[in-house]
Amino acid sequence: MDFMKLILTRHGETVENKKGIRQGQLLDGQLTRLGIEQAKKLALRLKDEKVDAIYSSDLGRSFETAQMIAKYHPDKKFYVTKYLREIDLGSFAGKIIEKSPIDWKNVPKDIETWENMIKRSKRILEKAYKKYPYGCVIFVAHGGINKAIICSILNKPLSYIKKLKKEENTAISIFNIRKDNNHEAELIYCTKHLD
């Protein structure tokens, strides 16, 4: 294998997801019963992967999902990192999405920029690639940061983020990450394990 296999996924459904509440970094998020089932199905789907390491966001909803995956890979490295955190939504965190729309053309000052998200995504990709250039790693994160990661991998402009559809809970994307930046997408947002 002349590349690093990256399996990128999102946490299971949370109480806040179900209620339409923005979580960002302020809220850890509690998995619902369905979210726990989704995470278990995700873990089962990934149990036979020859994984070298699992990287999880340090926010509870992703960490709990990542731990379920790690049960099938107990001897593998498990990293918890703030680089995989969701976008910082500042004062918009904890608010109902429908009642508090964000004007993304004039982003409030207390909301993290997409440019910063792209920087974070590149940093964690570099860190993982440096350690596992020919290995298989799993990133367990969030919808927003995952869009930034996909944008970085595919070397797309920021505007591409808007073209990506909303990622379902525990959806899987798989990429081949190469030193020459000639990365390939094998799969984007697959949820067949939930059927």
- Paired tokens of 26: 């302020």
List active site positions. Answer: 11, 142
Which residues constitute the domain of residue 166?
Answer: 4-194
pTM of the model: 0.96
Mean pLDDT within 80-101: 94
Q: Which two tokens stand for residue 79?
A: 């990293």
Given this model, what pLDDT does residue 72 score? 98
Tell me how many domains the chain contains.
Answer: 1
Whether the per-residue pLDDT at 163 is higher than 80: the answer is yes
As a whole-number percent, the residues of the chain with pLDDT over 70 amount to: 100
> pLDDT tier at 107 (50, 70, 90 boundaries)?
confident
Mean pLDDT over residues 169-181, rounded? 96
DSSP the chain: --SEEEEEEEPPPBHHHHHTB--TTT----B-HHHHHHHHHHHHHHTTS--SEEEEESSHHHHHHHHHHHTT-TTSEEEEEGGGPPP--GGGTTSBTTTS---TTS--TTSPPHHHHHHHHHHHHHHHHHH-TTSEEEEEE-HHHHHHHHHHHTT--TTHHHHSPPPPTT-EEEEEE-TTS--EEEEEEE-GGG-
pLDDT value at residue 105: 83
Q: By C-alpha distance, which of 120, 17, 141 is closest to 69?
A: 141
Distance between CA atoms of 58 and 130, rounded to whole angstroms?
A: 21
- What is the CATH classification number for the domain harbouring 78? 3.40.50.1240
